[in-house]
């Protein structure tokens, strides 16, 4: 379940919420059965709050939206993509520290 500041991305809202966003968007491709994904959840909640107004955080459940996972070539999870101006500007696979994720978001905001 996504926190209040986290967008639950779907096939329907992905074009408007992520591709059309004026702010950078950190998108987490995850699944309910993925242990590292669950460990990442609280970090994403914190980032969504800390970056409110500067960047967005979204989550895509790959079991529910296999089409989106396929569209972006997601092979393992968690996979984190940062979108800016409708394009993927950074990608990482696996559990990342909050410090690393903040550095990625800061680069996207500054760039």
Residues annotated catalytic, as ranges: 34, 37
> Token pair for residue 103?
């550095």
Alpha helices by DSSP H, listed for the chain, are 14, 35-50, 66-71, 98-110
Which residue(s) pair with 88 in the sheet?
83
Q: What DSSP designation does 62 have? A: T
Which residue(s) pair with 68 in the sheet?
none
């Amino acid at each position: 379940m996504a926190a209040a500041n986290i967008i639950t991305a779907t096939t329907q809202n992905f074009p408007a919420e992520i591709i059309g966003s004026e702010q950078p968007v950190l998108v987490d491709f995850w699944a309910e059965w993925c242990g590292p994904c669950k460990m990442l959840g609280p970090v994403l909640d914190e980032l969504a709050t800390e970056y409110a107004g500067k960047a967005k955080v979204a989550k895509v459940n790959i079991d529910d939206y296999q089409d989106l996972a396929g569209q972006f070539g997601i092979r393992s999870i968690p996979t984190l993509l940062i979108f800016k101006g409708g394009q993927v500007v950074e990608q990482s696979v696996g559990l990342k520290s909050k410090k690393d994720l903040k550095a990625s978001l800061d680069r996207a905001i500054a760039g």
